[in-house]
């Protein structure tokens, strides 16, 4: 039984993320225990860590800091090799800094800032389905095809990152980082829990992933 910790730090979309993980595991035949938790000790013992997120970068970081010991537990567990998956702002928190309203420090697991998207003539935030561009080969993208559509809701995006950490991009008035991975830590700018079959495939791949 694989223990999956969905971190509860007051950010929302916890129920939909945990339901998607359960469905993905059932479809793939992977036995899991998915627990939405505020307990840092459970996070340290978990086999997988999922950090959902929605809203402003600074608010999410403050919520994480307010969950006593949680940030330290996530760092310690991933340093020890526990795979991590960030969703939307959960992925953004992997960056060095967020620039929304103020400068807020992220985990610094991937290089770069979360900056306002400059998309002349396009609706902001980017909201809706858009296609993924990537070179196949990474295990997290197994069974996903370039051009498959996933669901985005964001007006800030990762810039200045190491291209080696970018697994996929999407086009919204230019290329935007859609998915990153560095070591055991990965994340999607899009909402996997709202991305139907493609999102479930990505979550199942994460549950199998042994980087």
Phi, psi (rounded to 5 degrees) for 161: -90, 170
Q: Is 191 a catalytic residue?
A: yes
Q: Where are any strands of DSSP class E within 8-155? A: 32-37, 48-51, 84-87, 97-98, 104-105, 113-116, 126-131, 149-154
Contact at 8 Å (CB) between 152 and 170?
yes
Q: Give the integer Cα–Cα distance in Å for 159 and 143.
A: 27
Q: Given 71, 100, 154, 191, which residue is catalytic?
A: 191
Q: Is 88 a catalytic residue?
A: yes
Contact at 8 Å (CB) between 49 and 5?
yes
Q: Is 101 a catalytic residue?
A: no
**Is 29 exposed, middle or buried, given 0-12, 13-18 or 19+ CB atoms closer than 10 A?**
exposed
Q: Given 60, 71, 88, 100, which residue is catalytic?
A: 88
Q: How many residues does the chain have?
A: 211
3 state DSSP class of 57 = helix
Question: Per the omega criterion (within 30 degrees of 0), is the bond before 125 cis?
Answer: yes
Residues annotated as catalytic are 88, 191, 193
């Amino acid at each position: 039984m694989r223990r999956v910790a969905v971190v509860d730090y007051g950010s929302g979309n916890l129920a939909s993320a945990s339901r998607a993980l359960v469905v993905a595991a059932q479809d793939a035949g992977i036995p899991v225990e998915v627990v939405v938790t505020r307990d840092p000790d459970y996070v340290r013992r978990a086999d997988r860590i999922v950090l959902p997120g929605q809203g402003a970068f600074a608010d999410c970081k403050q919520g994480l800091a307010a969950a006593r010991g949680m940030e330290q537990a996530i760092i310690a567990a991933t340093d020890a090799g526990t795979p991590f998956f960030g969703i939307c702002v959960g992925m953004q928190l992997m960056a060095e800094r967020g620039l929304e309203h103020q400068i807020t420090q992220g985990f610094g697991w991937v290089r770069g800032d979360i900056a306002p998207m400059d998309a002349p003539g396009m609706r902001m935030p980017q909201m809706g389905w858009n296609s993924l561009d990537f070179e196949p080969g990474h295990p997290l993208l197994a069974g996903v095809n370039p051009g498959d559509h996933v669901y985005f809701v964001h007006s800030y995006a990762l810039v200045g990152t190491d291209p080696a950490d970018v697994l996929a991009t999407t086009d919204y008035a230019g290329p935007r980082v859609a998915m990153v991975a560095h070591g055991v830590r990965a994340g999607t700018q899009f909402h996997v829990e709202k991305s139907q079959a493609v999102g479930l495939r990505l979550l199942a791949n994460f549950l199998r992933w042994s980087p």
